[in-house]
Amino acid sequence: MTEDSEWFRTSSELLKEGFERLGANWVQRRETRSALVDGCQTSQQQYVPLYEAKMIHQFDHRWASSGGQENGEVTQAEKGDTTFEVSPRYWVPASEVEERLLQIGWKHNWLMGWRAITSSHVLRTVIANVIPRVGVGNSMPLFFMNVDDSRLSAALLGCLNSLVLDYVARHKVGGTNLNFFIIKQLPVLPPTAYGEAALQLIVPRVVELTYTSNSMAPFAEELGHRRRPFPWDEDRRAHLRAELDAWYARAYGLTRDELRYILDPADVMGEDYPSETFRVLKNSEMRKYGEYRTRRLVLEAWDRLAQAESATQLPDRAWVMPNFNSDTVTAQLAAILKALPGPTAELKVRLAAIYALYPQYLTPRLKGAAQREWQRLTGSRTQSGVNVVNFVSRTSIEWRDAYTQLKGMGALIEDVSTHTWAAGLAANGYGTEGWPDGRAGFVVKALDEIGVDAAVAELPAEVQEWMKRYAA
């Protein structure tokens, strides 16, 4: 905001320079453009808003406006007008914005950032949102995501604005700055945390929360919504946010009581408990609604998700392996190959097989709901149940048979030069429905989060040695 101030223009300055307001931008007036054409200068200059952090809030790109009320806050009537756009202090040349985005290869017609100024004693600590493709001041650092599926940008925004992540952030922010080094420490869920069902729940809610004016149409359209902006409805928005918060709490592996504690420790520990988390949020809602509305809505959303999950969940011990022989090991390896995204290091495939064939090894690496679900479906308990000597001698024989069969039939494609394995066309014809596919999908996702090196380091030396033996 200091070294680039040469580009800044106020509305009065732009008026004097022959520009007129068109939506959120300023363009040259018709008579000015005509004069430029006669003078052989045919390029039309345009100025776009310069966003500052104070102009946004969670899921709201029209939080404050320099041209609005005395305190800058946008009124409910203005939010309800889908043609209304906030007015910044300054505008900057669109060409300058485009040149800088071109340098980093950002092709999306929207941006995402967060407020760099915050506190652990305010309504929310992490405040992030999407905004149009405009200029942005340094008080609002930006995220630039390298993902093929744009829906993951909506998932990231939902995660950043979740109560669970905010709870962690409050323990890390000591002053008023939400610096890069703090952002990098936050436990943001990785892309692998979002399956198709999760994205179908998250994306429509994020789109509805963010697409409240015409300027956010590019973000909504990229995510599949090509209709008009959504009306600003405070009650509906509260329910949508509660559903997102409940989903993310479950994705982080929290229990219902742990979520209750995050929302309000006194609700779990008693009224005399000295700790508090979202005091400002709670007190604000008590004054406005006569209740801590967020707590009620989030817990109700949690219960609905739990009920829906219970109605569709697999029965206990659904992934128990019927026996251990060449057929079951072959089925498990085939399922793992099909669950991989493409050519994968053989070491990782072997590790996935160990976790899938001997679920006791994975159990202690999991936490919360993920650990309970793995134990429930596989019937596993602890690592102590594995006989290492028996593992090495027994697995080597069955593994060799599985490897030989799948490679011979074209279900396993091996690249000896890179030590990678991938599923061949014949793999799709190998029946792996039920426990093989269930275990395979679970362990591949778990490995992406744990990391191969960290997982291998926890295994007994004999098992590590077995993993490092590349097939002949």
Tens digit of pLDDT at every position of the chain (472 positions): 889 999 999 999 999 999 999 888 999 876 555 444 444 443 458 999 999 999 999 999 999 987 544 458 899 999 999 999 999 999 999 999 999 999 999 999 999 999 998 876 788 999 999 999 999 999 999 999 988 889 999 999 999 999 999 999 999 988 888 989 999 999 999 988 888 889 999 999 999 999 999 999 999 999 998 899 999 999 999 999 999 999 999 999 898 999 999 999 998 888 888 888 999 999 999 999 999 999 999 999 999 998 888 777 788 999 999 988 999 999 999 999 999 988 999 999 999 999 999 999 999 989 887 888 899 999 886 554 455 545 666 677 888 999 999 999 999 999 999 999 999 988 888 889 999 999 999 999 899 888 888 888 888 888 888 777 643 3
Q: How would you write 182-239 as a 3-class SS string?
A: HHCCCCCCCHHHCCHHHHHHHHHHHHHHHCCCHHHHHHHHHCCCCCCCCCCCHHHHHH
Q: Are both 202 and 96 inside the same structural domain?
A: yes
Residue 299 located in a structural domain: no
Are 252 and 164 contacting, i.e. CB atoms less than 8 angstroms apart? yes
Residue 408 located in a structural domain: yes
CA 133, CA 229: separation in Å to the nearest integer?
17
Q: Are both 68 and 172 inside the same structural domain?
A: yes
Residue 279 located in a structural domain: no
| pLDDT the model gives residue 367 | 84
Residue 316 located in a structural domain: no
pLDDT tens string 61-114: 999 987 544 458 899 999 999 999 999 999 999 999 999 999 999 999 999 999
Nearest residue to 216 (alpha-carbon basis) of 60, 88, 335: 60
Q: Are both 330 and 212 inside the same structural domain?
A: no
Q: Are both 217 and 339 inside the same structural domain?
A: no
Q: Are both 361 and 242 inside the same structural domain?
A: no
Question: What is the identity of the amino acid at 411?
Answer: A
| pLDDT the model gives residue 144 | 94
Q: Are both 123 and 225 inside the same structural domain?
A: yes
Q: Which residues pair with 129 in a beta bridge?
A: 113
Q: Kindly state the tokens that stand for 379.
A: 């019937």
Q: Are both 51 and 151 inside the same structural domain?
A: yes
Whole-Å CA distances, 434 to 101, 236, 270, 322, 346: 47, 39, 45, 11, 24
Residue 447 located in a structural domain: yes
CA 144-146-151 angle, to 5 degrees, is 90
Cα-Cα end-to-end distance for the chain: 62
Domain termination residue (choose one: 253, 270, 304):
253
Q: Kindly state the tokens that stand for 200.
A: 């179908």
Q: Are both 15 and 112 inside the same structural domain?
A: yes
Structural domain boundaries, residue 351:
326-467
CA 156, CA 124: separation in Å to the nearest integer?
17
Residue 164 located in a structural domain: yes
| pLDDT the model gives residue 43 | 45
Q: Are both 425 and 333 inside the same structural domain?
A: yes
Q: Which residues fall within 8 angstroms of residue 195, CB to CB, at 6 or more apart?
A: none
Domain count, the chain: 2
| pLDDT the model gives residue 36 | 46
Q: Are both 376 and 249 inside the same structural domain?
A: no
Whether pTM exceeds 0.75 = no
Q: Are both 249 and 376 inside the same structural domain?
A: no
Q: Are both 374 and 228 inside the same structural domain?
A: no
Residue 304 located in a structural domain: no
Domain termination residue (choose one: 253, 268, 297):
253
Residue 197 located in a structural domain: yes
